[in-house]
């Protein structure tokens, strides 16, 4: 019984201490100074209720000792039960009054916070703050450190001058800095050797480019824009109570933040404009609404520049096809066979191999330039699921054309029953590969070599033996091209070749897809952090961004001065090959039967 009584009294003391703390907060200097100029005087009443509960608890302790004695009086048990009821009633009264006190505190806080927010809103739209933004944008004011930041005098701002030092401004800056209101904390950022290794959805200036390039792997463009707008609309801390301190906070904190947000948006529009054209241009509409309604009030000149950049980018995307330099463009080689391509590939070998390589290169160059950065993210290329395929349509188009031509190359060799005709087909495609290599179209080179090395073609040993003997130059070219795009050493020869290649160039997509796959599979999307959840793995994004940036450089320079031959282009775009590898193998065996190696006896 004594242990139970001690537990009850201990519980009453804990509840009482907690409630007293809240009641003190309602009238104490901390609350009064921070939020409630008038205060709410409830502590005295709550303290009385606490004392009543503690007295009732003490009565329980005393009567429990009497009841636990050797010869307790007959009234000991009823007295103890009565004390328990009295204590329960006292605690209920205490809790009820405490709840009422908390409601009064919250109501008073809500009123005072609303008044403070309204005051800050008036300050934000005041003439002095507007003048500060004008001076900031015209680059006549330099943001100093928090300890030396000075407010802008209205008359001085009209003359585009900085106000003279004032003691009150310096004190305000020191107070704000000590309170942490001018800090830009790095919470949520993981550093390793002075580099950002991971973090949450936020920004750090040196990594903005990689962040913008790879943000599709962990968020959407619309959510990212919402984060930027929210950051632009940074709310002043509640601790700012006078206009002088508010102006210091605006100049030292708000102005740099808003400037960085507009700088990031400018970089986004300038380098990754395709993000703004997807999803029916919803992101573009959202950006223009933000610029013209909100940002234009603070930075009219900067907003005008961004709007001009948007107009330029839209015009560029409306006319993506780069102009042809007639002086550099060779005359198309068009034979009568070109007109027969509409009937199928039966007359393809009569089309000039160089011109076929040119038209193939033009198609792939147009597709390659159109690949957006987000198509390289998260291995979304080539997926079978129809909903996912639309996420990388251009890469899928290039992969599809490559696979079709590879199959066509093999088909045009194995379908010929005469060895001489097979030689003609092999030689033709080697010449096409040579012409593609001359145009730095290594995606096409790889497709042709892959077609000539498919199992159904490679097994025709007699055909290849006689071809090497009768066509040594073509055979030598085939060997060099095969070595250039060989998979050995993780495409070591190809990588070495690409370091010295001069634009324009169409790389072999398979190498970059392989690199991105290794990065995606070998690095987690998030860094485990037991204390605060998962952090975005920026080290992984940096590696992905390095590969995509290399591709982007080739995309920007991928401009061929070649004339289009509609008939050849139409043939390649409409190309449909239905033959399977098993059917190709059957044709190969028919053209060059399998030899019986057993001895005839």
381 class by beta-carbon count within 10 Å (0-12 exposed, 13-18 middle, 19+ buried): buried
Q: Is 517 helix (H, G, I), strand (E, B) or coil?
A: helix
When pLDDT is cut at 50, 70 and 90, the band that residue 143 belongs to is very low
Task: State pLDDT tens for residues 472-508.
Answer: 999 999 999 999 999 999 999 999 999 999 999 999 9
- 3-7, 99-103, 393-397: segment of lowest average pLDDT: 3-7
Task: State pLDDT tens for residues 531-549.
Answer: 555 678 888 888 998 999 9
Between CA 463 and CA 117 the distance in angstroms is 86
- 511-515, 519-523, 553-557: segment of lowest average pLDDT: 519-523
The residue among 118 and 161 whose pLDDT is bigger is 118
Residue 196 has pLDDT above 90, yes or no: no
C-alpha pair distances (Å), 28 with each of 20, 24, 178, 443, 502:
11, 5, 22, 75, 74
- Could you state, in order of their start, the residue ranges of all structural domains in the chain? 1-125, 187-318, 336-591
* pLDDT computed for residue 50 by the predictor: 75
* pLDDT computed for residue 15 by the predictor: 64
* pLDDT computed for residue 286 by the predictor: 93
Residue 264 has pLDDT above 70, yes or no: yes
Between CA 356 and CA 432 the distance in angstroms is 7
Task: Indicate whether this model's pTM tops 0.85.
Answer: no
Between CA 218 and CA 425 the distance in angstroms is 48
- 27-31, 172-176, 246-250, 284-288: segment of lowest average pLDDT: 27-31
Count of Cβ atoms closer than 10 Å to residue 546 Cβ: 13
Across 192-207, average pLDDT? 52
Terminal-residue alpha carbon distance, the chain: 111
Q: Return the structure tokens found at 233.
A: 């609309």
* pLDDT computed for residue 156 by the predictor: 34
* pLDDT computed for residue 389 by the predictor: 44
The residue among 146 and 534 whose pLDDT is bigger is 534
The residue among 354 and 248 whose pLDDT is bigger is 354
Cα 113 to the center of its chain, rounded Å: 36
Closest to 484 in 3D by CA, of 498, 473, 474? 498
When pLDDT is cut at 50, 70 and 90, the band that residue 360 belongs to is very high
Across 46-63, average pLDDT? 76
* pLDDT computed for residue 563 by the predictor: 93
* pLDDT computed for residue 239 by the predictor: 66
The residue among 455 and 155 whose pLDDT is bigger is 455
Residue 361 has pLDDT above 90, yes or no: yes
CATH of domain 336-591: 1.10.840.10
* pLDDT computed for residue 60 by the predictor: 74
Residue 195's φ and ψ, nearest 5 degrees, are -120, 145
Residue 291 has pLDDT above 70, yes or no: yes
- 2-11, 197-206, 313-322: segment of lowest average pLDDT: 197-206
Cα 569 to the center of its chain, rounded Å: 36
Across 76-104, average pLDDT? 79
When pLDDT is cut at 50, 70 and 90, the band that residue 147 belongs to is very low
Between CA 132 and CA 246 the distance in angstroms is 12
* pLDDT computed for residue 422 by the predictor: 94
Across 312-336, average pLDDT? 82
* CA geometry: angle 508, 510, 511, nearest 5 deg: 80
- 229-243, 298-312, 506-520, 579-593: segment of lowest average pLDDT: 229-243
Residue 45 has pLDDT above 90, yes or no: no
CATH classification of 187-318 is 1.20.870.10, yes or no? yes
Residue 99 has pLDDT above 90, yes or no: no
């Amino acid at each position: 019984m004594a242990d139970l009584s001690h537990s009850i009294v201990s519980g009453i003391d804990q509840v009482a201490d907690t409630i007293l703390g809240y009641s003190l907060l309602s009238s104490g200097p901390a609350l009064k100074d921070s939020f409630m100029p008038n205060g709410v005087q409830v502590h005295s009443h709550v303290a009385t209720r606490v004392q009543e509960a503690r007295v009732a608890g003490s009565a329980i302790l005393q009567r429990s000792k009497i009841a636990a004695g050797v010869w307790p009086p007959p009234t000991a048990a009823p007295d103890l039960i009565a004390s328990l009821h009295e204590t329960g009633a006292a605690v209920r009264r205490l809790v009820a009054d405490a709840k009422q006190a908390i409601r009064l505190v919250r109501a008073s806080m809500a009123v005072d916070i609303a008044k403070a927010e309204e005051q800050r809103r008036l300050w934000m739209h005041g003439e002095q703050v507007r003048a500060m933004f004008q001076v900031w944008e015209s680059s006549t004011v330099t943001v100093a450190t928090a300890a030396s930041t000075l407010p802008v005098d209205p008359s001085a701002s009209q003359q585009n001058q900085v106000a003279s030092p004032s003691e009150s401004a310096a004190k305000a800056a020191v107070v704000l800095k000590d309170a942490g209101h001018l800090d830009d904390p790095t919470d949520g950022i993981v550093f390793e050797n002075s580099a950002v290794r991971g973090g949450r959805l936020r920004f750090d200036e040196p990594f903005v480019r990689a962040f913008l390039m790879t943000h599709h792997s962990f968020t959407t463009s619309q959510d990212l824009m919402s984060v930027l707008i929210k950051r632009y609309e940074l709310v002043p801390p509640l601790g700012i109570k006078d206009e002088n301190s508010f102006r210091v906070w605006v100049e030292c904190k708000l102005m740099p933040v808003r400037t960085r947000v507009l700088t990031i948006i400018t970089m986004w529009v300038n380098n990754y404009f395709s993000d703004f054209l997807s999803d029916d241009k919803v992101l573009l509409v959202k950006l223009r609404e933000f610029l013209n309604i909100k940002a234009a009030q603070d930075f009219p000149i900067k907003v005008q520049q961004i709007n001009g950049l948007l107009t330029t980018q839209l015009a560029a995307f409306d006319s993506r096809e780069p102009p042809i330099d007639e002086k550099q463009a060779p005359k198309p080689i068009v034979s009568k066979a070109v007109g027969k391509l509409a009937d199928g590939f039966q007359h393809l070998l009569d089309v000039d191999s160089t011109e076929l390589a040119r038209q193939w290169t033009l198609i792939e160059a147009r597709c390659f330039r159109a690949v957006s950065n987000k198509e390289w993210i998260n291995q979304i290329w080539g997926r079978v699921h129809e909903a996912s395929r639309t996420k990388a349509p251009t890469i899928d188009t290039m992969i599809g054309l490559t696979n079709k031509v590879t199959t066509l190359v093999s088909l045009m060799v194995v379908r010929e029953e005469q060895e001489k005709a097979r030689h003609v087909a092999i030689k033709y495609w080697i010449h096409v590969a040579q012409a593609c290599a001359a145009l730095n179209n290594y995606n096409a080179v790889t497709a042709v070599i892959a077609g000539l090395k498919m199992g159904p073609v490679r097994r025709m040993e007699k055909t290849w033996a006689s071809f090497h003997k009768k066509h040594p130059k073509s055979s030598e070219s085939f060997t060099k091209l095969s070595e250039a795009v060989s998979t050995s050493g993780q495409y070591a020869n190809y990588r070495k070749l690409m370091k010295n290649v001069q634009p324009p160039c169409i790389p072999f997509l398979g190498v970059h897809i392989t690199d991105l796959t290794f990065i995606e599979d070998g690095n987690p999307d998030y860094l485990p952090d037991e204390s605060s959840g998962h952090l975005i793995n920026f080290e992984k994004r940096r590696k992905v961004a390095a590969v995509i940036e290399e591709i982007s450089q080739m995309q920007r320079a991928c401009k061929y001065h070649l004339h289009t031959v509609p008939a050849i282009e139409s043939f390649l775009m409409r190309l449909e090959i239905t033959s399977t590898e098993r059917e190709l193998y059957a044709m190969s065996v028919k053209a060059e039967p399998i030899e019986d190696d057993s001895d005839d006896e």
